[in-house]
Amino acid sequence: MKKLTNRLTALTVLFTLFLGFQSCEQKEKQETKEVEKEVLVESHKPEYFSLRPEVEKAYGYSHAVKIGNSIKISGAVSMDDQGNPTAVDDIEQQMKNCYADLEKILRHYGCTFDDVVVENIFTTNMPLLLEKSAYRTEIYKNQFPTGTWVGVKELALPEFMVEIEIEAHKSE
C-alpha cells in the first residue's frame, strides 16, 4: 500500500510539474504574440503635401497625405496656380491637366501611376467622359487601378467638368 501511495504521490508531483511547465510555455507564447502584435501595429505620422498652398488654404484642404505606405490624393481639377479653371468646355484637356497635377504629387512621394491602386472620377458629363476615356491608357500602361466613375450635377466651380482622386501604395 505504501508503494502505491508513493507512486501516486510521485505521479501527482510529475503531473503538477508538467502542468506548471505547460502553463509557463503558454504564457510565454501569449507574451510573444502580444509583442508581435505591437510590432505589427506601427503608427505613422501623416505627411501632408500641398500642390498649390494658397488655393488649398483658401478652400480648406490638403492635396495629399501619406501615412505609412499609403498616399491619398484629393480630387484634381483643371486649374492654374491661382485656382482659376483652365480648358473650359474641353473635357479631354481637363483630364490631361488633372493627370499632370496628379503626376506631380506622385513624383513628390517617389511614385508613378504604376503605384496607383484606386482612381475615382467625378464628371458632369458621363457620356463625354466615356468617349474621351481612352486617354487613360496613356496614363496606366501596365494595369488599371480599381475605382468608381460617378456622374454629378456639378463640381466645385461650374467650369470644372471632371475631378479625379487617387490613392497610391508606395512599395518599399
Question: pLDDT tens digit string along 14-51?
Answer: 455 455 555 555 555 555 555 555 545 566 899 999 99
pLDDT score, position 21: 52
Nearest C-alpha neighbor of 154 from the set 128, 130, 123, 127: 123
7 has a pLDDT exceeding 80: no
> Among all chains, which residue has been given the C-alpha cell 479653371?
85
Beta strands in 51-161 (DSSP E): 64-67, 70-76, 116-123, 146-151
DSSP string, 111-140: --GGGEEEEEEEES-HHHHHHHGGGHHHH-
pLDDT in tens, 81-90: 999 999 999 9
The helix (run of H) or strand (run of E) holding residue 6 is helix 2-40
Residue 40's pLDDT is 53
Kindly report, residue by residue over 88-130, the tens digit of the pLDDT: 999 999 999 999 999 999 999 999 999 999 999 999 999 999 9
User: Residue type at 117?
Assistant: V
Closest CA to 74 of 108, 113, 119, 124: 119
CATH second-level architecture of 47-169?
Answer: 2-Layer Sandwich (3.30)
Phi/psi at 129 (5° precision): -60, -45
- Buried/exposed code over 129-139 (b: 16+ C-beta within 10 A; e: otherwise): beebbeeeeeb
Give strand pairing partners of 65: 48, 72
Domains of the chain, residue spans: 1-42, 47-169
User: What is the pLDDT at residue 33?
Assistant: 57
Q: pTM of this prediction?
A: 0.75
Judge whether 70 and 167 are in contact, CB under 8 Å: yes
More confident residue, 5 or 157: 157
CB 85, CB 157: distance < 8 Å: yes
